[in-house]
């Protein structure tokens, strides 16, 4: 409210108080009060207060849901199993299971030679020489001595001896164990020898490894899969 409006309001209040005082005296009065319409100042009616508009309630915006991208698995090519090998170059045949790797030593012939095999946890040496009066006992003992000389840090000791057959031919096999300097057993092996009389060739096979049962299994597989040409 402005200052002029405040003055007008004060005059109106003073006039009203005066009228109330006169009426309180009671009775009629000879004094007549003429009220001029021009002397009364209308009371300013306050403008209605504008109510603030209600504020809209803000609702949280839901976070976007992450959508996982599905990546199809990459197809892994299936390994083709290696076919079984057949060693048949030198007037004998030996079927080998999958996982056997053959190394031919240079200079091998039908009459004499040597091959090495890595055969599922064991090492194999297969050698052949002309018969010329050699015996199975001599072949086995000769191979055993060669192993002893090639591993001076180990002690080799025979533990068994028995016979077996390769087709119609008889053979001899010995078993041995190896120990280190402290006497702990580090492994062992089998040495077998037999003849193929028609080819006049004698064969020796040596199988070595750390597990006796695995050595025996591989030796049996080799003998059963061997055939004189």
Segment 54-76 shows an average pLDDT of 55
Give the Cα separation of 23 and 20 in Å (integer): 5
Q: Could you report the per-residue pLDDT of 135-154, keeping only the tens digit for each?
A: 999 999 999 999 999 999 99
User: Pairing state of beta strands 100-104 and 113-119?
Assistant: antiparallel
* Residue 104: strand pairing partners: 115
Q: Could you report the per-residue pLDDT of 28-54, keeping only the tens digit for each?
A: 444 343 444 444 444 554 555 555 555
212 neighbors 188 (Cβ within 8 angstroms): yes
Element (H, E) at 23: helix 3-24
Give the Cα separation of 154 and 116 in Å (integer): 21
**Architecture, CATH, for domain 85-228:** 3-Layer(aba) Sandwich (3.40)
At 16 the pLDDT is: 43
Give the Cα separation of 228 and 210 in Å (integer): 30
């Amino acid at each position: 409210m402005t200052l002029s409006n405040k003055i007008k309001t004060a005059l109106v209040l003073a006039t009203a108080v005066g009228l109330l005082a006169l009426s309180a005296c009671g009775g009629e009065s000879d004094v007549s009060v003429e009220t001029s319409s021009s002397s009364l100042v209308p009371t300013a009616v306050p403008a209605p207060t504008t109510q603030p508009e209600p504020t809209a309630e803000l609702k949280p915006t839901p976070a976007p849901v992450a959508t996982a991208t599905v990546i199809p698995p990459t197809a892994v090519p299936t390994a083709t199993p290696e076919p079984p090998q057949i060693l048949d170059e030198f007037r004998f045949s030996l079927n080998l299971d999958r996982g056997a790797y053959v190394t031919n030593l240079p200079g091998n012939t039908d009459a004499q030679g040597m091959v090495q095999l890595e055969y599922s946890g064991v090492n194999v040496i297969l050698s052949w020489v002309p018969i010329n009066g050699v015996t199975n006992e001599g072949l086995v003992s000769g191979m055993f001595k060669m192993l002893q000389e090639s591993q001076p840090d180990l002690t080799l000791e025979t533990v068994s001896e028995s016979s077996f057959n390769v087709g119609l031919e008889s053979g001899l096999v010995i078993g041995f164990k190896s120990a280190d300097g402290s006497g702990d057993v580090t492994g062992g092996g089998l040495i077998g020898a037999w003849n193929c009389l028609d080819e006049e060739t004698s064969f020796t096979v040596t199988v070595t490894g750390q597990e006796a049962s695995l050595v025996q299994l591989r030796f049996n597989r080799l003998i059963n899969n061997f055939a004189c040409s």
